[in-house]
Structures are given as C-alpha cells and as structure tokens.
A and B are shown apart, each in its own frame.
Chain A
Amino acid sequence: MYRWMLCFRYLRTRYIALASIVSVTLGVATLIIVNSVMAGFAAEMHERLHGLASDILIECHASGGLPDPDGNLDEIRSVLGDRLEGSSVSVHVPGMLGIEFNGQLITRHVNLVGIDAETYDTVSQFGQFLLHPANQKKVDFELKETGFAPDREGFPVSGWAYRRQRVAYDQALDLERQRVESALRRARGEVSAPDAASEGPSMKMDFGGSMFADKNGDGPKVFDPSIEQFPGIVLGISTCSSRLRDQDGKVADHYYCRPGDDIRMMFPNASDNTKVVNQKFTVVDLYESGMSEYDSTFAFVRLDQLQEFRGMIDPSSGMRSVTAIQLKLKPGSDLNVARDDLRRRFPPDRYALNIQTWRDMQGPLLAAVRLETTILNILLFLIIAVAGFGILATFFMIVVEKTRDIGTLKALGASSTGVMSIFLSYGVLLGIVGSVVGMVGGLVFIKYINNIAAIIEDITGQEVFDPTVYYFNSIPTIIDPWTIFWVVLGSIAIATMASVLPSLRAARMHPVRSLRFE
C-alpha cells in the first residue's frame, strides 16, 4: 500500500519527472499521428489503386488484340472455376487528345480505353468516379441535360444546357463575323450574296473544320451540334483541366473543356499497316478518381464504338477483338495463386499475354509506402528510446534525492523488493501517464488534423497537404486500435525498463548508509 501511496505522491510532487516523460508523450503522439496518416494514406491509395484496377488484368500486346474474347473467357473460367466472380473485356490503345481552347489546340497523350459499360463496373470501380449522379449509377455515354457534380462548388455549367448555349454563341459569333466581312466586302465594292459565306467552308463548329477533315460533320446530312452529339467520351479530369492556386491561395480548377464540348481523338487502327484514326467525340462526363496518374491519362469510350473505329471486327465472322481482359475474383481468393494458374494455362512463351494482379502493377508504389512507414516507425520509436534514457537519468537523481527516505522505509521494515517496487511502479506510472497523455493528444490531433493543417498553412503560408498534388481534399487518417495498443505498450515498456536500474539501486541501498546520507 505504501508503495502506491508513495509513488502517487512522487508523481504529484516531482515535476521534473513529469518533464522527463514529455518526450515519451511527444513520441507516442507522433507515432500515433504518423501511423494513422500513413495508414489512411495507404488505405486510400490501396482502395483507389485496387478500385481502378481489377483483381487480375490480362493484357494482349498485339496491336490487333486478342481475338475471340468469349472463347478465352470460357478457358479462363475453366481454369479459375468458382473463384471467378466477374469479368470484363476492354480495348486499351494509346491516343492523342486534341482540345480546342481559345482558338488553340491543346494536345495530350492519353490512354484511350474502350469499355463495356455493363460489365466494367463489376470488375473495377468506374462509375462512382464520374461527376454526373446518373452516370455514377450507370454509364451510357449519352450527354446529360445538366446537373454535373452537384456537390462541387464552382463547377461550370455543363451538358446540353451548356452545349446549346455555346452553339448559339458560336453561331451568333459566326453570323456577326460574316456580317462584318460582307459589310467590308460591300465597302470594297465586291458583290457577294450575304448568306453565301455562312454556307462556305468556314467554321460550322466551334473548331475542327478548319483543322481536320471531319468525317462526321462532312456527311450529306447537316450535323446540328445543338441537338446532336458525337460518340460519347469520358475524360480523366486532369487531361482537360488544371488545378491551380489563385492569388488568394485558393485552389481552383480551370477546365479546357467540359461535358458538352467536342474534342478530337487520334489513335492507331488495328491493321498491320497502322494508320491513325481521327475521330471526334463529345465529352459526356469527367472522371476523377483522385489518383493523378489515372486522372491525367485515361479517356473512356464505348467498347463497341472503339472496336469499330479501330477495325477490330472480323468482317467474315463478326468476331470482335479486345486487348485486355479484367477479372474479378471472389473475396478472399488468393490473387497470386489465381495469377499463377492462369500463367500456367497461358504460358508467356506461347501467348503474347501479360497476366498481372493489381498489386503487381502497383508493386513499387506499395512497397515504397510500406518502407516509408517502417522507417518512420523505427525512427520515432528511437525517439521514445531516447526519452527512456532521460527517464533513467531523472530517476537516478530522484533515487539519490530519496536516499534517506529509502533508509527510513527500510528501518520501518520495508523490504528491498518493496522499495524497488516503489520506484518501478513510479516508472510504470510515469510511462502510463506519458503515453496516455500522448495517446489522447495524438487522437485529438488526428481528429482535428485538417483544422490544424489549415492553421499551419495560415501561419507559415506553406501548404501542408497540397490538394493540387494529392487530389485529396482532406488528409485521410485511419486509427488502428492495435497500432495504438502496441505504441502505448512499447513506450510503457521503455519507461519501465528505464526505471529498472534506478529501482535496483534503491533496493540495494544499505539501510544504515542511506539513513546517514547527507
């Protein structure tokens, strides 16, 4: 009993000891914060990477693609058996995106993906990253009237509403230009029918006619952009926008094009004598996954349309080729085993197929995050270990200071183990207080981490978590109770170990010598 009484008294009266555990507190808080942020970051990244990629991706590198996808899928089904939950086929092809912006052509290299809207969403997350709520439920590559990104402030008006408005504006601009032109001609004395110019080869669209031969627009029937659209395309948001910081430091998105605009896409066809296909598309939605790598390189169109444009349909059999097969396995299946089974069935030396799990594709990135977390943990735990030596030194001082009291206790009949346990439990108690305070502090910090980041930004003017880089609007955190448990346990253990030596010293003190100690 006296042990507890004394060590609680010491805890309350020795502030120097409390100071010595501040480093434990800080270490614990930092460890918890860092682990939570790293875990949140990694989980977000895993989720996104995995969400974007299917469990297993089979890619065919031949330009003509993999013929007979159904036959191959049957084969895959027989290999995987009931492990297979879903599958989808797609065509991946490198392409060049051309966007007319303020009279200039902006080009971007993109990965053009032809997807089967029905099945693609079952093997990987796709729809949920689109901006229009209806598309999030089901993608149909048809331009919607309006209502894109309802919860995003400052998103420009898009869809048919915007398209009609733009067409009307363009037409008005055209008319005005013609009027000015004909007025000029009349002024110069040239005779010309006032409406001949509007029928000429000048701009019918906002762009295009002047720059590219337009297959769709040049047909015998007149294309009316205010009621018609080209084949739909979903662009990755970063392919057609830039996220910048304005003068006030606020993050703002600038769009080169938005749903309702027409863009141009150039990509190779599937023949052996490769030619460039030049096709106009209407942007029907934007795709924002939060992974800048995906958002800045992907563009999605309908699989059947892309197959047509690329000539991937066998004219005799009508069989359509694909370049990639996505597989989704039942939850809990071992992806690596499934991949190896498939590799045995489709050995790489006979098939030009690349069979990968999503982890294989993102291996280096995932490994880098893991390594970072491990190193940070080691470094931070060293901080707590350093704090342990601080406790050791402080405890030696306290034991020396308490020498006479130790002698007194022994004279009153306290055993050596009793004296030792005073200081040992004092150390444990300090460790508990330090780590619990650190834990609470860390958890509070995590709870308000975004507010704290904002305050730090205000003070330093330095962006803590740059949304233009990460595409997260807030810092993701995950609190893992086991991590906290081990961190707290570890630091209590360090505090305890640091108090073992001073406690032993106290226990070994000779009662007479301690009583005489001045």
Chain B
Amino acid sequence: MSDEPILQARGVFKSYQKNRVEVPVLRGIDLDIHAGEVTALVGRSGSGKSTLMHLMATLDQPDKGEIFYRGQRIDNASWKERDAFRNQQIGVIFQFYHLLPELSAIENVLAPAMIAQSTWSYFFNRKEARRQAEAMLDRVGLLHRATHKPGEMSGGEMQRAAIARALMTRPSLLLADEPTGNLDTDTGLEVLKLLRGLNVDDGLSIVMITHDESIAAGADRTWKMKDGRVVDDRIAQVA
C-alpha cells in the first residue's frame, strides 16, 4: 500500500446557521486519505462525518482550512473546476442511493458520462459509453436489471447501481456515505464485499462513512470523529 495521501484536510472548520445561531459542525479537522486504501470514518450521528465528506466531495466549502487532492488545493477552486473534479476524480454513493427515478439503471450509470461531455461528443461516443456502462453494471452484478427503473429494484440492487454510476467515469477515489445504512445485514455485507473487491482489483481508494464499528473494523484505516474533531487515529489490522 502506498502511503501517499490522495486527499488531505488541514484545519477544516465548518459551521451551519440554524435559526440565526451558528452551529459548529467541524472544529479543525486534520486528516489524510491514503491512495489505494479503504478508509473508514466512524462517528455518531451529528459528529460531522457527513459534512466532512461533503467538503471532501467539494459539494460544500469549508469556512476555514484547506483540502488538497493529490497535493492540489480544491476547496477554493472555481465552480467549474469543482464540478469537473466531482465528475472525473471522485465517485460518490449515498445511504439513500439517490438514483434518478425517471431513468433506468443503465441510464443512471450513463448519467456521469453524459454530464462530462457535451451533447455532440456524447452522441458520437454513445456506443462506447454504453458498452462501458454495461461493463460497470456487469462488474456490480446488475446487468440483468439494466433496463429497470430504480422503483423496480431492491435496496441492494439500487446501491449496486449507484456504485456502478459512481465508477462510470473511472475515478480514483470513492466517497461512500453510509453505503449500508439502509440495507439489511446480509445485503450490506454483499455491498461491502463488492467495495472491497473494487479496492483490491482496481486499486480504488475508498472513504467509507459509517456509524457501525464492525464495518469500520473491515477497513484498512479508521478515523474516529466526535463533536467535529478527529479523536482517534489508529491503523486497523489488515484483514
């Protein structure tokens, strides 16, 4: 495993306005995500782990502090650069899958490719994109459900479709926000197995947010968060 950090947070502060009262969520986070590792971010709800993930995904900007991706600062980049970064460099999956209900599984997987390209260039590359999306669905074992709408799929299938979508643009980092939080134990384990497989086979770096210590135990590295701070940094046993 390489020790080179793919993502770094330095002194990150973030607070939200709630009824004119400033609620601090992150109070100075320093942490490194190492390439090729599965990193678990553990903490109780309200500890700020989701907020941290949003900052890492550049969906939000920190009040103070810096975030680096491969040594390059990304938190203060322009909208356009951040949009491209989200599209190209990282994949995001959520507890509630967030598939677009109007689109079928394969169309959902194709969405990042469509977003990445202009209508013209997508039109000329559509066969290639489709082939790739089918490969992704195959990789997550969902090819037989390609034309199904999210409403016709089970939770585990939806999460696997979401993973395929996140991987469509071949990112180097996958951010997963409670990927198993809405699944039963067995299905959750399947999804975790899939993620681990992606990590091992493709060298994908994964950041997994969870409140479940047992899931965190399966990670290469675990960061524990409490009240907006990283409280414990221990290297987990490599399973």
**Same assembly:** yes
| Chain A residues engaging chain B, CB cutoff 8 angstroms | 1-6, 9-10, 13, 404-405, 407-416, 418, 510-512, 515
Instruction: Report the bound CA distance from A75 to B83 in whole Å.
Output: 83
A409 contact from B79, B101, B115, B169, Cβ within 8 A: B115
Given contacts A4-B119, A411-B57, A415-B79, 6 further A-B contacts (CB under 8 A): A410-B59, A411-B98, A412-B111, A414-B87, A415-B83, A512-B51
Are the C-beta atoms of A411 and B92 separated by less than 8 Å? yes
- Given A1-B123, A2-B114, A511-B59, check contact A413 B88 (CB 8 Å): yes
- For A410, the chain B residues whose CB sits under 8 A away are 59, 83, 86
Are the C-beta atoms of A405 and B60 separated by less than 8 Å? no
The residue on B at minimum CB distance from A9 is B102
A413 contact from B99, B101, B116, Cβ within 8 A: B116
Report if B80 contacts A (CB, 8 A): yes
- For B114, the chain A residues whose CB sits under 8 A away are 1-2, 5
- Given A409-B115, A512-B59, check contact A6 B102 (CB 8 Å): yes
We find that the number of chain B residues with CB closer than 8 angstroms to chain A is: 34
**Closest Cβ–Cβ distance, residue A277 to chain B (whole Å):** 85
Are the C-beta atoms of A512 and B60 separated by less than 8 Å? yes
Are the C-beta atoms of A10 and B59 separated by less than 8 Å? no
Report if B100 contacts A (CB, 8 A): yes
Instruction: Report the bound CA distance from A105 to B115 in whole Å.
Output: 89
Are the C-beta atoms of A412 and B87 separated by less than 8 Å? yes
- Given A413-B84, A413-B86, A416-B79, check contact A1 B119 (CB 8 Å): yes
A405 contact from B87, B92, B100, Cβ within 8 A: B100
- For A418, the chain B residues whose CB sits under 8 A away are 115
- For B98, the chain A residues whose CB sits under 8 A away are 404-405, 407-408, 411, 515
Instruction: Report the bound CA distance from A408 to B169 in whole Å.
Output: 15
Are the C-beta atoms of B57 and A10 separated by less than 8 Å? no
Are the C-beta atoms of A412 and B102 separated by less than 8 Å? no
- For B123, the chain A residues whose CB sits under 8 A away are 1
Can you report 14 residue pairs joining A to B where beta carbons are below 8 Å apart? A1-B114, A1-B118, A5-B103, A5-B107, A6-B100, A405-B98, A408-B99, A409-B111, A411-B59, A411-B98, A413-B85, A413-B112, A515-B94, A515-B98
- For A408, the chain B residues whose CB sits under 8 A away are 98-100
Instruction: Report the bound CA distance from A418 to B112 in whole Å.
Output: 13
**Closest Cβ–Cβ distance, residue B47 to chain A (whole Å):** 16
Contact with A along B195-209 (1 / 0, CB 8 A): 000000000000000
Contact with A along B162-205 (1 / 0, CB 8 A): 00010001000000000000000000000000000000000000
The residue on B at minimum CB distance from A414 is B115
Are the C-beta atoms of A2 and B57 separated by less than 8 Å? no
- For B88, the chain A residues whose CB sits under 8 A away are 413
The residue on A at minimum CB distance from B107 is A5
Are the C-beta atoms of A413 and B83 separated by less than 8 Å? yes
- Given A408-B100, A412-B87, check contact A2 B115 (CB 8 Å): yes
Instruction: Report the bound CA distance from A411 to B119 in whole Å.
Output: 20
The residue on B at minimum CB distance from A404 is B98
8 tightest A-B CB contacts, nearest first: A413-B87, A2-B114, A9-B102, A1-B114, A1-B122, A413-B86, A408-B98, A511-B59
**Closest Cβ–Cβ distance, residue B133 to chain A (whole Å):** 13
The residue on B at minimum CB distance from A415 is B83
**Closest Cβ–Cβ distance, residue A9 to chain B (whole Å):** 4
**Closest Cβ–Cβ distance, residue B104 to chain A (whole Å):** 10
- For B117, the chain A residues whose CB sits under 8 A away are 1
Report if B54 contacts A (CB, 8 A): yes
The residue on A at minimum CB distance from B175 is A411
Instruction: Report the bound CA distance from A117 to B116 in whole Å.
Output: 81
- For A5, the chain B residues whose CB sits under 8 A away are 103, 107, 114
**Closest Cβ–Cβ distance, residue A99 to chain B (whole Å):** 77
Are the C-beta atoms of B103 and A413 separated by less than 8 Å? no
Instruction: Report the bound CA distance from A6 to B103 in whole Å.
Output: 8
**Closest Cβ–Cβ distance, residue B69 to chain A (whole Å):** 14
